[in-house]
Amino acid sequence: MSPLPKPSRERLTDLFLLLTGLPSPSRHERRVADAITAFLAGVGVTTHEDKTGEAIGGDAGNLWCTVIGADPEPWVAIGAHMDTVVASDSLDPHLDTEGVFRNRRPTILGADDKAAVAAMLHATELLKASGKDFPSYEMFFSVSEETGLVGIKHMAGDVLKSPLGVVLDSTGPVGGVVSKAPSMTVFHATFRGRAAHAGVEPERGRSAIQAAGRAIAAMPLGRLDEETSANVGVIQGGVATNIVADTCHIEGECRSHDEARLAEVSGAIVDAVQRAAAETGVDVDVDLSHEFRAFALTTRSPAVRLAKAAVEGLGVEAKIMTAGGGSDANVLNARGLPTINLSIGCMCAHSPDEHVALDELERLCDLVLQIISLSPEFAPRAKETVPGS
């Protein structure tokens, strides 16, 4: 194949600043979806959009497209998500004097995952303009990834035709290859007690907050072992200091690379909730939902070998990693599409310190070009089995 085109730092800067300047919290990705669709139409690529927005109460659906090159069928599907966590301030992205993208305001930048989107769009622009043959590939852009991989779960399983998948959605310097990620279960518990005046007749009350506190104190939380963690992240209850609270709601999660261990920890959390309710004389409703399933790809997997070869093609050492969080790759692997998750150069995601260097963004675009170029060497036409592959 001909030498790969070289990314334009100026073009990448313009694209990234455009995308990060568009607010796109989960379920409000319309402006970013329109920008992606318009950009790809400008280089002769037609995008498709599903009805996920309607199904989840959002304003946009998942996007996908096939970029036709020298082959009738695509070799690899490359994906990113369009949404961000909610920004606590306005978006004013800029490239500072040190060559690093930051938000001037004290909130997220949105590099997670718009660095990936910018790199994918520019790589496609370069290949289409090159006038040279390149392997056909697919791209997809999901909605509501930050709220439990909701968008990709709603995307039809027969949309992507490629035998391999690559998700660009891991933090850290370009070169990271996530080959293993955990399962996650989310829990919700609502305690219902009885209100009473806290100063005049507290004995008549049944404190839902007290029950919730006992439950949390009895839960296995934090880093439980090398593969397992649990957390309570939301507590809501009470209306005034002089009222014994009659309701309290808590939400949390547990993650593990071991399904049996995840079930054990989830069961311990439910036991703690029910026991605390019984001890304090309140009622409780508790619900568990399995959000996504773990995946583990071995070094023999074509997806891992493709990622490793692409990273090394940049002159960077590939770092095979185990993740503590999930991504769209979890869902795609569960569906039988072997999918790797790669680092995008973003640092301090989901925080006011979020940033990405222009050098990393350029390297990420180079990585996308490498993945596309090398995909025919590694992609099996028959889908492999994901677990232990």
Which three-class secondary structure state does DSSP give residue 61? coil
Which residues does the annotation mark as catalytic? 83, 145
In order, the DSSP letters of 300-351 are TSHHHHHHHHHHHTTT---EEEE-SS--HHHHHHHTT--EEEEE-S-BSTTS
Please, how many CA atoms are within 13 Å of residue 204, restricted to the half-sphere of its CB? Answer: 8
CA distance 372 to 369: 5
C-alpha to C-alpha distance for 121 and 335, rounded to whole angstroms: 26
Q: What DSSP string runs through 357-387?
A: EHHHHHHHHHHHHHHHHHHHHH--SSPPP-T
**165 near 386, Cβ under 8 Å?**
no
Backbone angles phi, psi at 385, to 5 degrees: -85, 130
- Please answer whether residues 314 and 133 qualify as being in contact, where contact means their C-beta atoms are separated by less than 8 angstroms: no
Cα(273)–Cα(286) distance, integer angstroms: 8
Strands 100-103 and 356-357: antiparallel
